[in-house]
Chains A and B, each alone.
Chain A
Amino acid sequence: MQRINPSLMLCAAVLCSLALPCLATPAADVLQVRIAYLGYTPASGPLLSNVIPEPSDAGRRGAELAISDSNSTGHFLKHSYQLDVAEHTDGASLLTAARELHAQGVRLFVVNAPASSLRQLSQALPDSLLLNAGSADDSLRQRQCLNNVLHTLPSRAMLADALAQFLAVRKWTRWLLISGSTEDDQAYASALKRAAKRFGHRIVAEKTWSFDNDQRRSAQAEMPLFTQTTEYDVVLVADERGDFGEYLPYNTWYPRPVAGTQGLTPTAWHKTVETFGAAQLQKRFEALAGRWMNDRDFAAWMAVRSIAAAVTKLRATEPQAIRNLALTAELPLDGFKGRKLSFRPWNGELRQPIPLVQPRALVSTSPQDGFLHPHNEMDSLGYDQAEVSCDLTRGGQGTPYSP
């Protein structure tokens, strides 16, 4: 698939008709802000419980909405935001498309792609600013920070910490951990183990689901026996693709809840998030996309909105200036989550509350009350400054990636 759609989302000339003061202004006075959305989601392979597929345009629709939201301020300030979209089914084509866009002058990118692809793009576009709205990889936020990358999608560590705080509040401290066998599942399991240690939980047993069970039994029938271990309070599952995890709730040996990638799930965004003005964002998104907004959509929306907030403040589009402003406390961001959001200066990751949801309800939002932090309670989620070996504010001190 080769698709590059330079689409002028909202024409400055049309918008000018709304505000009298700019009626007589020539188009040359308009500050053009070009942002490219780069999308690549690898195929997840055959799945056992793939009944409800993920939307194929997850991420892009969030970026589109944010462009139209940003043009609303833009047309009063004579700033015009435009989205270029490049979506590909492999990393190499995405890299080529990104280089083409760069040659056309684009320096601001929202990337919804795996960590490996993000690293390539970061290296190939050193004078650009990339906002990661697709990879939850922890190493990008801890040891291998990329100097020109900010992250709006929460890391696995943030998600796991958000869940572990809630389980600590509920005093469900004995965990059975079940993980899938993919690299991503193992990374999610590692984040859960780290969170268990941070928040005083005990993993009483750990199992990997490899589906080498008795093939005469369905997965559902296998689960009660598979979860027959030392007694636990809760089953934690690390199955990012949704291969087997959906079969765990109600099928555990002990009558216990399930949490993690299935069951009670920590996520950046969900349909059931409605307070703090979120209902309005949900409605706007649903009108645009005809479906619910998910975490990828939110991350891409947040990425474009972060750029726009910086451009509004700076009245300029230089990627370095936007990056530097984003890493200060001078850019409070509105993410409809009840707190002002900001980027952590040490690793460029967006501080944000994490909703804990089940399919039809918001169960809680972390950070939980009582988990204190000397500077910002949201920094109790994910890698805190002392645990991170990079520091983006000391120009390029983030360990550059070397393959």
Chain B
Amino acid sequence: MRTNHHTTDNNKRINPMRLTHLACAIALGLASHTALATTAYVSNEKDDSISVIDLGSLEVTATLDVGMRPRGLLLSSDNKLLYICASDSDRVQVMDLATRTIIKELPSGADPEQFALHPNDRWLYISNEDDALVTVVDTQSDEVLGQIDVGVEPEGMAVSPDGKWAVNTSETTNMLHWIDTTTQQLVDNTLVDQRPRHVEFDKNGKRLWASAEIGGTVSVIDVASRQIEKVLTFQIKGVHPDKVQPVGVKLSDDGKYAFVALGPANHVAVVDAKSYEVLDYLLVGRRVWHLAFTPDQKRLLTTNGVSGDVSVIDVDTLKVSKSIKVGRYPWGVVVTP
């Protein structure tokens, strides 16, 4: 946090006016941390920081120092804790959002990149990119519950809404690895296209969407059979197919839309989540990575790595309404109410 809580007072006398000012500053400070509008948190991979965006004013209101190379972000179910993959610090940091301080660090294994929290709000599934492992950590006891061997460069992580499955993607092995959360064992693998980056369950947990960055596709997988049901491809006028590299995927709760971040194609695809038809491509910043809805799902935020900004998409009109400058190489994004 880069706010200065201390006033310098060389003559050591207590100045009533100054005390009042200080009290006001603290009160305001607390208010801005807790009571105000919807807030987005964006990890800046090359700045070792988190940008805090007030979604009322659409402005960056604070920049918080965190561990090295922060990438994946997620929230506890009560939105009080922010989990941060500090990849080059080899740990997951836990930030208390009320005070915006790191309250503890979890034993994540080496190079944590993405993670997912089990619906029980305790088990954190972390992909360890350098070690071809998924580490399961109990966020309350800080114990490592297990480490599961997966393919090379594990990246995307998702836990099904019913908590039965944890699914990991491995970027060089090109597979989805299905982990049974009751036994913490790998039980099945689904081969997808080259360089799978991200997995996202739909709200009822029947389907899993998996993006493949180099393959240029998104596979929709039937969770019951773990078979690929549909492979989506993307064509944007004026953009070479090689630059269409799907990364982040977000599904709207009403089952209407899937949004797919297309990386260096600098567009987000809008997909009809029922017919799988691509409805539109929205131009955002350069190398769009990850996405997050606001709690009312009326807006979608994108992190744009190369241009160092966040684009705001209005979901009703499917228009990009604003871009907000953040730190260097913004990567992950989450939003609290």
- Give CA–CA (A341, B186) in the complex, Å: 31
- Give CA–CA (A153, B151) in the complex, Å: 27
Residues of A within 8 A of B (CB): 18-21, 69, 72-73, 76-77, 277, 280, 283-284, 287, 309, 312, 332-334, 338-340, 376-378
- Give CA–CA (A332, B151) in the complex, Å: 19
Q: List 9 A-B residue pairs with CB atoms under 8 Å apart, sorted by A's residue number.
A: A19-B186, A73-B151, A73-B173, A73-B191, A284-B152, A312-B191, A332-B194, A332-B216, A340-B216
A334 adjacent to B185 (CB under 8 Å): no
Cross-interface CB contact of B173 among A72, A284, A377, A378, cutoff 8 Å? A72
A42 to chain B, nearest CB (A): 33
For B87, give the chain A residue with the smallest CB separation: A279
Complex interface bits, B214-243 against A, C-beta within 8 A gives 1, otherwise 0 = 111000000000000000000000001011
Interface status of B89 (Cβ within 8 A of chain A): no
Cross-interface CB contact of B130 among A73, A280, A333, cutoff 8 Å? A280
A72 adjacent to B170 (CB under 8 Å): yes
**Beyond A19-B186, A21-B187, 13 extra complex contacts between A and B, CB < 8 Å:** A72-B170, A73-B152, A73-B174, A73-B175, A277-B171, A280-B130, A283-B111, A309-B194, A332-B216, A333-B214, A334-B195, A340-B214, A376-B240
For A277, give the chain B residue with the smallest CB separation: B171
A280 adjacent to B129 (CB under 8 Å): yes
B174 adjacent to A280 (CB under 8 Å): no
B188 adjacent to A21 (CB under 8 Å): yes
Complex interface bits, B168-206 against A, C-beta within 8 A gives 1, otherwise 0 = 001111110000000001111101011100000000000
A18 adjacent to B195 (CB under 8 Å): no
- Give CA–CA (A340, B264) in the complex, Å: 12
For B242, give the chain A residue with the smallest CB separation: A339
B307 to chain A, nearest CB (A): 14
A-facing residues in B88-103 (Cβ within 8 Å) = none
- Give CA–CA (A18, B186) in the complex, Å: 8
Interface status of B149 (Cβ within 8 A of chain A): yes
B185 adjacent to A20 (CB under 8 Å): yes
- Give CA–CA (A21, B175) in the complex, Å: 15
B173 adjacent to A334 (CB under 8 Å): no
Interface status of B309 (Cβ within 8 A of chain A): no
Interface status of B334 (Cβ within 8 A of chain A): no
- Give CA–CA (A376, B241) in the complex, Å: 9
Cross-interface CB contact of A280 among B153, B215, B240, cutoff 8 Å? B153
B152 adjacent to A69 (CB under 8 Å): yes
Residues of A close to B149: CB separation below 8 A: 18
Complex interface bits, B320-337 against A, C-beta within 8 A gives 1, otherwise 0 = 000000000000000000
Residues of A close to B53: CB separation below 8 A: none
A-facing residues in B146-169 (Cβ within 8 Å) = 149, 151-153
Known: A77-B191, A334-B194, A340-B216. A69 touches B172 (CB 8 A): yes
Residues of B close to A72: CB separation below 8 A: 132, 151-152, 170, 172-173
Residues of B close to A280: CB separation below 8 A: 129-130, 153, 171
Residues of A close to B240: CB separation below 8 A: 376-377
Interface residues on B, range: 20 to 34
Known: A280-B129, A332-B214, A376-B240. A76 touches B175 (CB 8 A): yes
Known: A21-B188, A72-B151, A277-B195. A283 touches B130 (CB 8 A): yes
A19 adjacent to B189 (CB under 8 Å): yes
B153 adjacent to A20 (CB under 8 Å): no
A59 to chain B, nearest CB (A): 20
- Give CA–CA (A376, B239) in the complex, Å: 11
For A77, give the chain B residue with the smallest CB separation: B191
A339 adjacent to B132 (CB under 8 Å): no
B93 to chain A, nearest CB (A): 20
For B215, give the chain A residue with the smallest CB separation: A332
Which of A76, A77, A284 is most buried by chain B, counting CB atoms within 10 A of its CB? A76
For A334, give the chain B residue with the smallest CB separation: B214
Residues of B close to A338: CB separation below 8 A: 245, 264
B195 adjacent to A76 (CB under 8 Å): no
For A283, give the chain B residue with the smallest CB separation: B130
A153 to chain B, nearest CB (A): 20
A376 adjacent to B191 (CB under 8 Å): no
B274 to chain A, nearest CB (A): 28
- Give CA–CA (A77, B170) in the complex, Å: 14
Residues of B close to A333: CB separation below 8 A: 194, 214
For A21, give the chain B residue with the smallest CB separation: B188
B112 to chain A, nearest CB (A): 13
For B187, give the chain A residue with the smallest CB separation: A20
- Give CA–CA (A312, B215) in the complex, Å: 14
- Give CA–CA (A376, B170) in the complex, Å: 28
Residues of B close to A76: CB separation below 8 A: 151, 173, 175, 189, 191
- Give CA–CA (A20, B186) in the complex, Å: 7
B45 to chain A, nearest CB (A): 10
10 A-B pairs with least C-beta separation: A72-B152, A334-B214, A73-B173, A72-B173, A76-B189, A339-B242, A72-B151, A18-B149, A340-B214, A334-B194
- Give CA–CA (A72, B189) in the complex, Å: 12
Which of B171, B214, B264 is most buried by chain A, counting CB atoms within 10 A of its CB? B214
- Give CA–CA (A20, B189) in the complex, Å: 10
B305 to chain A, nearest CB (A): 9
Residues of A close to B195: CB separation below 8 A: 277, 334
Complex interface bits, B112-130 against A, C-beta within 8 A gives 1, otherwise 0 = 0000000000000000011
Cross-interface CB contact of B172 among A19, A287, A334, cutoff 8 Å? A334
- Give CA–CA (A180, B86) in the complex, Å: 49
- Give CA–CA (A332, B193) in the complex, Å: 9
For A313, give the chain B residue with the smallest CB separation: B191
Which of A73, A287, A333 is most buried by chain B, counting CB atoms within 10 A of its CB? A73
